[in-house]
């Protein structure tokens, strides 16, 4: 499989990973690595974060979209008007 984004730029480059959202093949230049904490429930409802963090691979577009989504979710609510 070749990198999808390189292909858009008419370049042929072998993909080293796959975006886990859109499924596009990714070369290293078009990959964004994410680190997600994984929490598990333990006794007495204690939430414990597992080490190491979970790795995720995203293309740059899905990475940007994810970032925008996180920012929107974490920004204070605005009045509906
Ligand atoms: Zn590429
Ligand atoms: Zn993607």
For 13-69, what is each residue's pLDDT tens digit? 999 999 999 999 999 999 999 988 888 888 777 888 888 899 999 999 999 999 999
Q: Which tokens hold the place of 5?
A: 């984004």
Beta carbons of 14 and 2 less than 8 angstroms apart: yes
- Measured from the alpha carbon of residue 20, the closest ligand is 2
SS3 content of the chain, % helix, strand, coil (to 5): 30, 35, 30
User: What is the distance in A from the centroid of ligand 2 to the CA of 40?
Assistant: 27
Residue 6 three-state SS: helix
- Measured from the alpha carbon of residue 24, the closest ligand is 2
Residue ranges of the domains in the chain? 4-74
Looking at residue 20, the DSSP 8-state letter turns out to be T
pLDDT of residue 69: 92
User: Alpha helices of the chain — where are they, by DSSP H?
Assistant: 4-8, 60-74
């Amino acid at each position: 499989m070749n990198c999808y984004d390189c292909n858009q730029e008419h370049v042929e480059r072998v993909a080293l990973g796959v975006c886990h959202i859109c499924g596009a093949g990714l070369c290293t230049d078009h990959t964004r690595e994410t680190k997600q904490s994984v929490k598990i429930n333990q006794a007495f409802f204690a939430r414990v974060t597992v080490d190491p963090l979970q790795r995720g691979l995203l293309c740059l577009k899905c990475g940007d979209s994810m970032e925008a989504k996180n920012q929107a979710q974490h920004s204070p609510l605005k009045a509906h008007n």
